[in-house]
Every structure is written in C-alpha cells, then in structure tokens.
Amino acid sequence: MAIEKTFSIIKPDAVERGLIAEILKMITDSGLKIKGMKMIHMDRAKAEGFYAVHSERPFFGELVDYMISGPVVVSCLEGESAIEKYRALMGATNPAEAAEGTIRAAYGQDIQNNSCHGSDGPDTAKTEVAYFFNDNELVG
Ligand code: UDP
C-alpha cells in the first residue's frame, strides 16, 4: 500500500446547494488529508481541457456547460491508496446506482449533476493535480 495523491472537484451542483462542508467532512472522515484546496470558477477553455478525454462523447457540450455554470472547489487529497479510496467514497457515476454511504448517493442529483469528481488512476491523478495546482500551492 502506498501513499498517493489524488485530485477532487466539488462540482457546481454541490457548491450551489451549500454542500461544501458536508462533502469535505466525508472526505476527511475517510482518512484522506487535504494537501491543497481552492475555490475557482472555470472558464470554458479550462473545463474543455480538463475533460478533453470526453470530447467525442455526446454529453461533452452539456458537461462543459455544467462545469462552468458556477464555482467549484478543487483539492489535492493524499492518503493510503487515495485514488481508489476516493473513487469508492464518491460512488458510481450515476447517483441512482451509487452505494449507500457514498457522496453521490447522499448528494448527487443525476448522472451529470453528481456532485464530485475524482481521478481514475495514477497518471490522471498526476495530470489533474498539476492542471489546477502549482507545487507551491500544496502543503508538504
Ligand atoms: N457524465 C454525463 N453523462 C454521462 C456520463 C457522464 O454528464 O452519460 C458526466 C458526469 O458529470 C461524470 C463526468 O461526465 O462525472 C465524467 O464522466 P466519467 O465517465 O469519467 O465518470 P466519473 O469518473 O466522474 O465517475
């Protein structure tokens, strides 16, 4: 088991509904540590770049519109098996299929407005953290 970093977004639907504290509590209760965090409002280019891997998917346009519809909270999380651990804490992409006790089961509204993002593997974790944070914005 290794200490890993992963990348998290509290998405616009959750920020809009005042759920930042609730979601951060679930994250820290799980044992993950916050190594960097900020609230931002992405512009279209930033969101398109972030979701470039989905650019050919039919939902891409709506996904980008949603991600720039309001502010989000981006964080770098760290812990033992942080990538897998945070994916498990988020639950399935579709909140209707998310297991009880997960962020998406508790707060997700539908397959798009699903409250949170988490990196899906070591390479994306590294890329995504670097896409939003400079080294000097992360605590040691
Ligand atoms: N999404 C969507 N419609 C879909 C599938 C996904 O709007 O049919 C959105 C949803 O917000 C999801 C994001 O696109 O979180 C990225 O999709 P992915 O399959 O990578 O899911 P995740 O890794 O976020 O669970």
Q: What is the ipTM of this complex?
A: 0.99
- How many domains, in total, are found in the chain? 1
> The domain containing residue 66 runs over which residues?
3-135
pLDDT digits (tens, 9 = 90+) for 18-52: 999 999 999 999 999 999 999 999 999 999 999 99
CB 63 less than 6 A from any atom of ligand 1: yes
Residue nearest to atom 7 of ligand 1 (CA): 112
28 annotated to a ligand binding site: no
- pTM for the model stands at 0.98
The answer to whether residue 140 sits within a structural domain is no
Is the Cβ atom of 117 under 6 angstroms away from ligand 1? Answer: yes
Domain containing residue 37: CATH number:
3.30.70.141
CA angle, 52 then 98 then 94, to 5°: 40
Distance CA 43, CA 37 (A): 18
47 C-beta closer than 6 A to ligand 1: no
Which among 23, 3, 7, 5 has a CA at the least distance from the CA of 114?
Answer: 23
**Does 82 fall in a domain?**
yes
What is the rounded CA–CA span in Å between residue 128 and residue 60? 18
